[in-house]
Chain A
């Protein structure tokens, strides 16, 4: 199975900051990568698919990039509602596998 890693595992930032989360795959996955946001007690919400396509209804401050084995999720100007845990998911090879998550807290 393809192993997904994320860095950092946790981070703190302030409202208005820009942040970047990195996801790495143990082998090339083309652009078959999605990013999810999960808030406590809530279901994961897909933000990005195809590595860089923004899910309908998701604010444009979220963006994704990358291909192959390294990917990034960038939030350009953090809003209070963005503090959550973020997961990446590869679906190039089966079974699909998730990254372990990055917890984003308010500083």
Chain B
């Protein structure tokens, strides 16, 4: 069974940084692309970032480009999202998802709150 478990969320001040992690199990992690998708509670969905199977290709949504970095460690079956220069509008649940642009399985998410 595919399982994706995110961690690392929390409360951070505007301008601060945070790194999210996602541990994957139940599938061969190193042969699939991965992505991060965020959702403000009760609102819509926004694709944040994606990374191909070996980490050589990444892509970002316009609102986070230049501030967020996505990476992976295939030996640890783990995906990461490094978030810098955080803004209030980055407040959301962040979901790790299997697939680069068309995610099929999603984790439960970790909540990031950017507030002073």
**B46–A98 CB distance below 8 A:** yes
A39 to B62, CA, bound (A): 28
User: Interface residue tally of chain B, by bracket?
Assistant: 10 to 19
Q: Pick the contact of B59 from A32, A89, A94, A98 — CB < 8 Å?
A: A94
Q: Nearest Cβ in chain A — how far from B32, in angstroms?
A: 14
Chain B minimum-CB-distance residue to A33: B102
Q: Please determine whether A1 and B62 come into contact, CB atoms closer than 8 angstroms.
A: yes
B45 adjacent to A87 (CB under 8 Å): yes
Specify which chain B residues have a CB less than 8 angstroms from the CB of A98 in the assembled complex: 44-47
Complex-state Cα separation, A87 to B45, whole angstroms: 8
- Measured between beta carbons, the chain A residues less than 8 angstroms from B103 are 46
Q: Which residues of B contact A97 (CB under 8 A)?
A: 47
A83 within 8 A of B: no
Bound CA–CA A34/B103 (angstroms): 9
Contact across chains for B104 and A46 when beta carbons are under 8 A apart: yes
| Chain B 58-102 interface 0/1 with A at a Cβ cutoff of 8 Å (1 = within) | 011110000000000000000000000000000000010000011
Contact of A55 among B47, B62, B104, B109 (CB under 8 A): B104
The residue of chain A having its C-beta at the shortest distance from the C-beta of B104 within the complex is: A46
Residues of B within 8 A of A (CB): 44-47, 50, 59-62, 95, 101-109
